[in-house]
Chain A
Amino acid sequence: MRQASIANNAAEAAIPVSRRAAAREIGMKVVFAVAAAIFIAAVIVICVYLFIRAVPAVGEIGVIEFLFGGVWAPGKGAYGIGTLVVGTIVATAGALIVGVPVGLLVAVFMAFYCPKWLYKICKPLLNILAGIPSIVYGYFGLQVIVPFVRDTFGGTGFSLLTTAFILGVMILPTIINISETSLRAVPKSYYEGALALGATKERAIFRTMFPAAASGIVTAVILGLGRAFGETAAVVIICGNVAKFPTSLLDSIRTLSSNIANELGYAEGLHREALIACAAVLFVFILIITTIIMLLRRKKR
């Protein structure tokens, strides 16, 4: 009896509390839902806006002429982004050639070889590198790398080489941080096992740890690729903005993003729409990259 009445009392006391809790719960649910709605709306609005503006322009120019045309000359009414797409792709590829080997080796160093005291210095330095605004990279490129390339290799210095180098440095933090984390996430026993079987330290790292951390490392590379792909502020200063197919490392290039940054301020009519279509093309590329990452993640599971 006594126990039952206590339970009863407790239940009675609990009712108003739980009601308040339920109300609070609903309130928070609404807050979260609104937050999610804002974020989803932002993505959808940008996406819809881009394509609504881009589709008629591309239709007017002609899909083939727009995507594969080799002449971008708004003054003459020629809107072919072939050279810009190629410029963007070679600049990104160059950035990966510079950034990936260095980045992966640094990640191995940080994960396996680095003494603790040095790690305490390296890690913050890496974060500083990641935090430098891209315009600063651009100015550094203009003041240091452009004259260096011009004096050492010839040409104007505003080149694919310069752009690839600066972009390669810019994507280092992304590649190093993510691949280091994924290398550290591999169970220590893999490494010890390899050593116990007689492998050298290097062999254990490259033959055992690397394959085990493969999906993380690929993600790191693809995120770096994404960063290089859309980079604007630094590239517009150092790439030279010449809309033609590059034939050597010392040729100037123009990327999709630098093209938009250069001309959007003044463009009117079809020119403006064509620039927005450039943005849509960039957007599609980024979408593809994101999809690849998602597929890789799923495969890992």
Chain B
Amino acid sequence: MKKIFLAIASLVLAAGIGVAAVGCATGYAVEVSGGGSGVGLSNTRNGTFDLGMASKEVKGEDAEGLTVYQLCIDGIAIVVNNENAVEDLTTAQIKAIYLGTTDNWSDVGGADASINVVHREDGSGTRDAFLEKVGIDEETETMVEGTTLNSTNLVMQTVSGDKNAIGYISLGSLDDSLKAVKIGGVEATKTNVLNNTYPLQRPFNVVYTESRLAENDLLQDFLTYLKSEDAQEIIEEKGYISLTSRTYPAYAVPETKPETMELSVGGSTSVQPLMSQLAYAYEELLAA
């Protein structure tokens, strides 16, 4: 019975792969996979990935043999309702709220009302960044149960409608429908992220080896694209923060198109959604 199932499944799979292969064979393909920042670094070093992704600083031993390029910064804003009197929280207070040890706004300087915690769903990059920066380890600590929503937009709508709610969103998506609290006195602004005083932030890095770069012309061109104005536009649009210390030239498709047809990119699952968008836009540009 199992054999029959497997036979049917492999037939179906084979057909699917065939169709996919026929569909993809005509153009350039930038394959983006996950695995985590650590996998991104080690697999780039050993040559499995052409380009690695890491949502943390890459230095010291981690950076050995690798060239690092910082794509952008991921900032997290802690948001409350505009009517909420609380203006300022420390990361320790935020952690206590999400672990449930603090459950009333009066404990952190607000009105006497219970705190309605809003989460993002498991696997969301924003959730990852929030947990990492606030210092909650999901494997050992249990967070308070709260409304779980699967998009930044839904979190914003909920917090802007509920005066006792607290949530977290990408800093780039923040608008005046809700209020971002200061973290330890530091306001959540792009300026404070860029001058590194705002704590809830992490870099999005890509890494590669110089030897791979030298032999792979598609990698060279994709990096040119990542460093371009076109890529930065997508990055900003997705709510991430571009480094302002650099200039970003416009991308132009090279006159002789790259000989290499495939590029494998892998690593941090937080960078993965953004990278997929960039890869897609890049493939479109090359195909045009």
Q: Which residues of chain B have C-beta atoms less than 8 A from A265's C-beta? A: 123
**Minimum CB–CB distance for B164 against chain A, Å:** 8
A156 touches B149 (CB 8 A): no
- Residues facing B in A22-77 (CB within 8 A) are 45, 48-49, 51-52, 73-76
Bound-complex Cα distance A215 to B147 (A)? 40
State which of B5, B12, B269 has its C-beta within 8 Å of the C-beta of A266.
B269
* A48-B9, A52-B5, A142-B157 as given contacts; A156 in contact with B150, CB under 8 Å: no
Any B CB within 8 A of the CB of A261: yes
Interface string of A148-184 (1 = CB under 8 A from B): 0010000011100000000000000000000000000
**Minimum CB–CB distance for B260 against chain A, Å:** 27
A240 touches B148 (CB 8 A): yes
State which of A157, A242, A263 has its C-beta within 8 Å of the C-beta of B162.
A157
A75 touches B5 (CB 8 A): no
* A52-B5, A147-B161, A268-B34 as given contacts; A263 in contact with B122, CB under 8 Å: yes
Bound-complex Cα distance A158 to B157 (A)? 13
Q: Which residues of chain A have C-beta atoms less than 8 A from B157's C-beta? A: 142-143
A237 touches B139 (CB 8 A): no
A75 touches B139 (CB 8 A): yes
* A49-B9, A76-B138, A266-B124 as given contacts; A236 in contact with B150, CB under 8 Å: yes
Any A CB within 8 A of the CB of B116: yes
B146 touches A242 (CB 8 A): yes
A75 touches B138 (CB 8 A): yes
Any B CB within 8 A of the CB of A244: yes
* A52-B9, A266-B122 as given contacts; A242 in contact with B139, CB under 8 Å: no
Using a CB–CB cutoff of 8 Å, the interface residues on chain B facing chain A are 5-6, 8-9, 12, 34, 116, 121-124, 138-139, 142, 145-150, 154, 157-158, 161-162, 165, 269
Given contacts A143-B157, A242-B145, 19 further A-B contacts (CB under 8 A): A45-B12, A48-B5, A48-B9, A52-B5, A52-B9, A76-B139, A142-B158, A143-B161, A156-B116, A156-B165, A236-B150, A241-B150, A243-B145, A261-B150, A262-B148, A263-B122, A266-B122, A266-B124, A267-B123
